[in-house]
Structure 1
Amino acid sequence: MYRRFGYHRIETPALEDIRRLQGGEGGENEKLIFQVLKRGLDDETAAGTRTRDLVDLGLRFDLTVPLVRFYAHHHAALPTPFRAFQFAPVWRAERPQKGRYRQFHQCDIDLIGDASVLAEVELIEATTEALDAVGITDTTVRLSDRRFLSALAAHVGLEEPAWPGFFIGLDKLDKIGWDGVRAELVDKRGLPAAAVDQSRTIIEGLIGLDADKVADRLADAVPALPEAVVADMATTVECLAELGRTRAVGWEFDPTLVRGMGYYTGQIFEISHPKSSSSVAGGGRYDKLVGRSLGKDIPACGFSLGFERIVDLITEAPARSALAVLFEPDVPISHALERARQSRAEGRETTVVRRSGKLPAQLTRLEGQGFTGVVHLRDAAAVEAERPLGGVR
């Protein structure tokens, strides 16, 4: 699906330099890194040795950090803009539970080198189309912007050192409600109650906006918000509204959306589904992250699908057409292989299987393994037609 949009697959190593993984931009995920000991260590270490002196590598916790390193090393030979996608495992030291795993797969799509909201809109369209292709419908794209959140925090009088805690509290709104958010921000983090209450009033006035109302309401709610931020959001929601007229793509501006990674610099987005307690995809713009490796900032934007969460939502197995070429002991193996070769040339999934035991029992076993048809070769001279096995799945 992503190839249709002009994206090309790349692969990056599972192991990364621990300093890169712990660069301070991975948010809470940096606490969940599986760290790898240096090679050649003695069985015992001296008392007082720090853990960080024993570690030089770690397993990647997402695919963005490795992508940035890849781009920094190869940018001179890559096109501008650079469109890439990855499908690979990542690791986090989670407490395993439904929707959260220690090893899981991500499918990332990234566009590097385009500063316009073409990147955001294209990534969202490609990702929602990919979800549609596997039968995940009835999704909602939630949008916000880190620049809006920063402007909101400043507007209600919060000092910049307090912003991260303010954002973390807002991000919990869907789980603990406004009373819980207020208790965390005021009672636990010591933020001024007046600032928290004012932010609630502003946020509630920005929920449920139509596409043609987003820009004006944003500008009125936070007057210091740069015009470019307002214009970018207006363009994004306009494009999504237009997309929604041709496909079943829902969207909403969500002023409480934060995203946990510290590297986001602009628009952020998630895709939610009514049957999933967590988002099935998330991403945003990270214009400063490439500069940490390259020495100069490069505009970049990405979207990541959580593969296991998507699998949990698929209720029906994809249609399969698999043929078993079943041959008797007297039939030459070369004849069975030739018959299978013909089937594969027609695009069929085909497996060669020796005849054994009672035929009805073997056919039942083949059906249980997912085969939908069988060709039974009784002798080398006969031309055997395909017979269906059960119903086509």
Structure 2
Amino acid sequence: MKTDNSPARGTRDLLPASVATRDRVLGLIQDVYRRFGYQRIETPALERIERLTAGQGGDNEKLLFRILRRGLDERLPAETEVNGLVDMGLRYDLTVPLTRFYSQYRAELPQPFRSFQFGPVWRAERPQKGRYRQFHQCDIDVIGEASVLAEAELIEATTAALAAVGLSGTTVRLSDRRFLSALATAAGVPQDAHAGFFVTVDKLDKIGWDGVTAELTGDRGLDASVASAAREKIEALADLPADKVAAVLADVVPGLPSDVVTDLATTAECLAGLPCSWAFDPTLVRGMGYYTGQIFEITHPDAAGSIAGGGRYDELIGRSIGTDVPACGFSIGFERIVDLVAAEPPADRVAVLYEADVPVPQALAVARRLREERGGVVSAVKRGGKFPAQLTRLEGWGFTGFLSLKADQDPGEVRPLGKS
């Protein structure tokens, strides 16, 4: 029977050219984050199942890949529950592992701790274009900083990283979970209906106000006056300049705590000094349930959704250690930005084409000399097949030049491919 050599559904193989682009993008991002003081850490792909199902990951917990315990019998009783068979799972994001990491090593870490992570995560998504079951996340977090310095610095560092990889025209969208709760209350949304209200408002860019109103008064069971009040308040907060954020917020949402107004105004002032567009977005919600304060996303005109997102999660670490620790993070959608980045021009790559009668030590010596002289990539490749056809293959593999090496002959000069 013929073996299926395709990768597992929802995953993909990456060819050398794709990996080279990803390495280049990651290197540029990492260089920016390093200059801001973020230190790279690594956490395991596996986490204990009780941590991954502790309510920290919102809907992502429904997409968890669970791993069976070792030593199970081949046959189990029919009434056996799945939860009793697993003890580990594949991480679905990098934030939950970070909270465990910090809880374990906090005594050894600088304060505040600036963390940088890059690695694969797994979610049991329905495979489709742009959505994979295995993908990479690229996160920075500030733990131990209670002021909006954390939010402002995370946004500045991330916009600088995106600019470094060549993405221009980005827009930062800013909001606050505390503001959203106060707005819902001021509009007359009952406390137990806040979560559903947020979910519906988050769809505004997809279904418009008519769709939002229909869902609020239909599926959500809210009075038409509540939906109308919410719309009026949200529209009054659109397109606020930095110097108007505080005054307008306090006027439109009278019950909003003063520290929330001050924090948002300070962050807006910091954003106004950056070389990027930004907007206070009263409809920005973000899906993770652990956010406690400011939330933000970055959009790009060529991307369907956001290309980066994050926010403050001051209560998440406290679930592990019993004491809340201020924390804030930002995650770049690495797969999305790689698709937006222009391919790098081919680097200088030379093939030393050596004939069958050339001793291997001689071929390697010539390749070594060329590396030292040219500083580029040089590989020894044995001659085979028709010469023009082999040159075509080399060019398709990314080589830019070649040198013919024959026994007892001067190797001559490197010749460019495509002009031989």
Are 2:285 and 1:258 equivalent residues in the alignment? Answer: yes
Paired residue secondary structure (1:201): helix
Cα offset, 1:185, TM superposition: 2.1
Aligned 8 A contact 1:335 1:380 in 2: no
Aligned 8 A contact 2:346 2:398 in 1: no
Distance in 2, Cα, partners of 1:117 & 1:358: 66
- From 55, 58, 72, the counterpart of 2:103: 72
CA RMSD, Structure 1 to Structure 2 (Å): 2.1
Moved more, 315-324 or 166-175: 315-324
Distance in 2, Cα, partners of 1:137 & 1:28: 32
Cα offset, 1:66, TM superposition: 0.7
Are 2:151 and 1:120 equivalent residues in the alignment? Answer: yes
- Kindly provide the CA deviation profile for residues 179-233 of structure 1, in whole angstroms up to 9, marking residues without a partner as x: 2212222211223332222111111111111121112111111122122211221
Are 2:181 and 1:150 equivalent residues in the alignment? Answer: yes
- From 214, 227, 246, the counterpart of 1:196: 227
- From 2, 12, 22, the counterpart of 2:43: 12
Are 2:274 and 1:230 equivalent residues in the alignment? Answer: no
- Kindly provide the CA deviation profile for residues 50-95 of structure 1, in whole angstroms up to 9, marking residues without a partner as x: 3222222221111110111111111111111211212111111111
Could you tell me the TM-score, scaled by structure 2's length? 0.86
Are 2:393 and 1:365 equivalent residues in the alignment? Answer: yes
User: Which sections of structure 2, spanning at least 5 residues, go unmatched?
Assistant: 1-30
Query: Which residue identity lines up with residue 242 of structure 2 in the other structure?
Result: A
Are 2:378 and 1:350 equivalent residues in the alignment? Answer: yes
Paired residue secondary structure (2:135): strand
Match of 2:351 in 1: 324
Aligned 8 A contact 2:43 2:98 in 1: yes
- From 305, 309, 322, the counterpart of 2:336: 309
Cα offset, 1:318, TM superposition: 5.0
- Kindly provide the CA deviation profile for residues 151-190 of structure 1, in whole angstroms up to 9, marking residues without a partner as x: 1122223332221111111111111111221222221122
Paired residue secondary structure (2:317): helix
Distance in 1, Cα, partners of 2:247 & 2:101: 40
Paired residue secondary structure (1:95): coil
Query: Which residue identity lines up with residue 388 of structure 2 in the other structure?
Result: P
Aligned 8 A contact 1:154 1:160 in 2: yes
Cα offset, 1:315, TM superposition: 4.4
How do 1:18-29 and structure 2 match up within 5 A? 18-29=49-60
Are 2:363 and 1:336 equivalent residues in the alignment? Answer: yes
Aligned 8 A contact 2:353 2:404 in 1: yes
Cα offset, 1:4, TM superposition: 2.2
Distance in 2, Cα, partners of 1:154 & 1:281: 29
Distance in 1, Cα, partners of 2:230 & 2:122: 36
Cα offset, 1:327, TM superposition: 2.6
Cα offset, 1:132, TM superposition: 2.1
Query: Which residue identity lines up with residue 18 of structure 1 in the other structure?
Result: I
Match of 1:54 in 2: 85
Paired residue secondary structure (1:143): strand
Distance in 2, Cα, partners of 1:343 & 1:108: 40
Cα offset, 1:380, TM superposition: 7.0
Cα distance, 1:236–1:40 mapped onto 2, change above 3 Å? same
Distance in 2, Cα, partners of 1:299 & 1:38: 35
Distance in 1, Cα, partners of 2:122 & 2:35: 29
Query: Which residue identity lines up with residue 150 of structure 1 in the other structure?
Result: S
Query: Which residue identity lines up with residue 170 of structure 2 in the other structure?
Result: T
Paired residue secondary structure (1:29): helix
Paired residue secondary structure (2:213): helix
Cα offset, 1:377, TM superposition: 3.1
Cα distance, 1:331–1:92 mapped onto 2, change above 3 Å? same
Paired residue secondary structure (1:280): strand
Match of 2:17 in 1: none
Match of 2:134 in 1: 103
How do 1:29-48 and structure 2 match up within 5 A? 29-48=60-79
Paired residue secondary structure (1:70): helix
Distance in 1, Cα, partners of 2:409 & 2:144: 62
- From 120, 124, 131, the counterpart of 1:93: 124
How do 1:162-311 and structure 2 match up within 5 A? 162-244=193-275, 249-311=276-338
Cα offset, 1:347, TM superposition: 4.7
Cα distance, 1:370–1:211 mapped onto 2, change above 3 Å? same
- Kindly provide the CA deviation profile for residues 90-112 of structure 1, in whole angstroms up to 9, marking residues without a partner as x: 11111111222211111111121
Distance in 1, Cα, partners of 2:203 & 2:370: 54
Give the number of aligned pairs: 387
Distance in 2, Cα, partners of 1:116 & 1:381: 71
Cα distance, 1:221–1:315 mapped onto 2, change above 3 Å? same
Moved more, 197-206 or 348-357: 348-357
Distance in 1, Cα, partners of 2:365 & 2:151: 50
Query: Which residue identity lines up with residue 279 of structure 2 in the other structure?
Result: E
Runs ≥4 in structure 1, deviation > 6 angstroms?
A: none
